[in-house]
Amino acid sequence: MARLRAGVIGRVRACEQNSAWCEVQAQDSRGFVMRSDIFGVMPTEKVE
């Protein structure tokens, strides 16, 4: 488990269309973040 601070820059690795969760990577940590907490990812957007 990792706790990221506000303002941390990471990479969105994947978001399924209409899913509430996106897979992200920040430095050596990988995990899932709620889509609503990610700036710039639209609710119905698919990220591959």
CA 23 to chain CA centroid, Å, is 5
b/e sequence 8-24, b meaning 16+ C-beta within 10 Å: eeeebeebeeebeebbb
CA 47 to chain CA centroid, Å, is 10
**pLDDT for the residue numbered 4:** 81
Number of domains in the chain: 1
> CA-CA distance, 33 to 25, in Å (whole number)?
10
**pLDDT for the residue numbered 6:** 83
State pTM to two decimals.
0.80
**pLDDT for the residue numbered 27:** 87
Domain boundaries, position 40: 1-48
**pLDDT for the residue numbered 7:** 84
pLDDT tens by residue, the chain, 48 residues: 778 888 888 999 999 999 999 999 998 889 999 999 888 999 899 999
